[in-house]
Amino acid sequence: MYGGCEQREVVWKEYNAALLRQVREILLFIRDEVDAVKLPDKFVHKGPGRPRTSAHSLAKAVLACEYMHLPERQAQAWMGLLGPLLGIKEELDDWVIGDAYGRPDVQYILNELFERSKSSDGVLSGDGTHVEQSRKENYESKKSSATGGWLTTIIDSREFVQAFNDDAHEFEAMLELIPQVDGDSLRLDAGFLSRDVTNLASDYGLTPYIHPKSNTSMARDGSASWQHMLLDFTTDPVLWLFFYHLRSHCESFHSSYKRCFGHVTKRNDRRKHGQTCARLTLHNEIKSIYWQNMPAN
């Protein structure tokens, strides 16, 4: 069932050229796509007093900071250099850039960009992971007091993020995410095994592949979707597991996401959400560039 494949040789000259093209395309993406988002009237300043710094300029600064891994103090200098390229006309200091992560109008732009950045091939997988705020939170003795929080995502087989939640535990978050995605099937590990999750996935047209636990009863009770999933598992477990183990893309995504973007650096919940949304938008755009440049087999 699992066919082998040849290891592709890395051509470093082409690889480095691809990385340089990615930088250019990401910066142009930030400039053009942020400007294309129209703010609702409730975010447009019309009253007396000094207008606030442009939300579009701040959204560009946030995305550039996350892509380049810049703290706010360094970002102030970099935005002075990159501002003309990104279309930032204001002078942004470090405090303004840091505050931008939690501004509602900036978050509106980031959420719009995330929605526009995703596409789905229908083969979905979901999982949750702990996002750390320091390296110490990786130690087992520190996990009970960790402050980073949870990140729960649903991705497709190309690792495009379809939906995310960063303010609830993974099980409760998954119940909120399933209605937000479009696809044909959904893979989850045994931690999500429940009739509620199975029924919800089926109600939204997703064939559930949720790995049974060792003590799961195979008796024919429960809803039709629950019975159908367990019947498929017991009838042809090899074929069922072949489809289920496509969920490894979700594990791969969480690993690469943490390695690429590092720890959460914000403490305020609103700013954490802005940072996560910006990072996932950039991840989707990087994946889009990767697949566009992938040579046809």
Q: Residue 249 — pLDDT band, cuts 50, 70, 90?
A: very high
For the chain, how many helices (H) and strands (E)?
11, 5
Q: Can you name the residues that pair with 27 across neighbouring β-strands?
A: none
Band of residue 49 on the pLDDT scale cut at 50, 70, 90: low
Interacting residues of 121 by C-beta distance below 8 A, sequence separation 6+: 156, 157, 158
DSSP-assigned letters across all residues of 135-156: GGGGSGGGGGG--S-EEEEEEE
- The third-level CATH classification (topology) of the domain covering 123-250 is Nucleotidyltransferase; domain 5 (3.30.420)
Element (H, E) at 98: helix 94-100
pLDDT at 220: 63
Give the distance from CA 156 to its chain's centroid.
Answer: 11
Domain boundaries, the chain: 12-117+265-293, 123-250
Angle of helix 104-117 relative to helix 269-293, nearest 10 degrees, comes to: 30
Residue 168 three-state SS: coil
> What's phi and psi for 124, nearest 5 deg?
-105, 150
* Distance between CA atoms of residues 246 and 92, nearest Å: 44
In the numeric block, which tokens belong to residue 75?
A: 């970002």
By CB neighbour count within 10 A (0-12 exposed, 13-18 middle, 19+ buried), where does 100 fall?
buried
Cα–Cα distance measured from residue 165 to residue 226, given in angstroms and rounded to the nearest whole number: 25
Query: Which band of pLDDT confidence, cut at 50, 70 and 90, is reported for residue 137?
Result: low
- pLDDT the model gives residue 244: 95
Position 279 pLDDT exceeds 70: yes
297 pLDDT exceeds 80?
A: no
Tokens of 49: 């007093």
Sign of CA dihedral 161, 166, 169, 171: negative
* Residue 148, pLDDT above cutoff 70: no
At 47, is the pLDDT very low, low, confident or very high (cuts 50, 70, 90)?
A: low
DSSP letter assigned to residue 278: H
Q: Return the C-alpha torsion angle 87, 89, 94, 100, nearest 10.
A: -70
Residue 218 has pLDDT above 50, yes or no: yes
Q: How far is 15 from 265, CA to CA, in rounded Å?
A: 30
Strands (E), the chain: 123-130, 150-156, 161-165, 185-188, 207-210
Mean of the per-residue pLDDT values for the chain? 88
Going across the sheet that includes 207-210, the strands are 161-165, 150-156, 123-130, 185-188, 207-210
CB 74 within 8 A of CB 240: no
**CB of 277 within 8 A of CB of 167?**
no
| Whole-angstrom distance, CA of residue 216 vs CA of residue 214 | 6
- Residue 185's closest CA among 200, 173, 201? 201
Say if residue 102's pLDDT is above 70: yes
Place of tokens 């910006």: 278
The two beta strands, 150-156 and 161-165, are: antiparallel
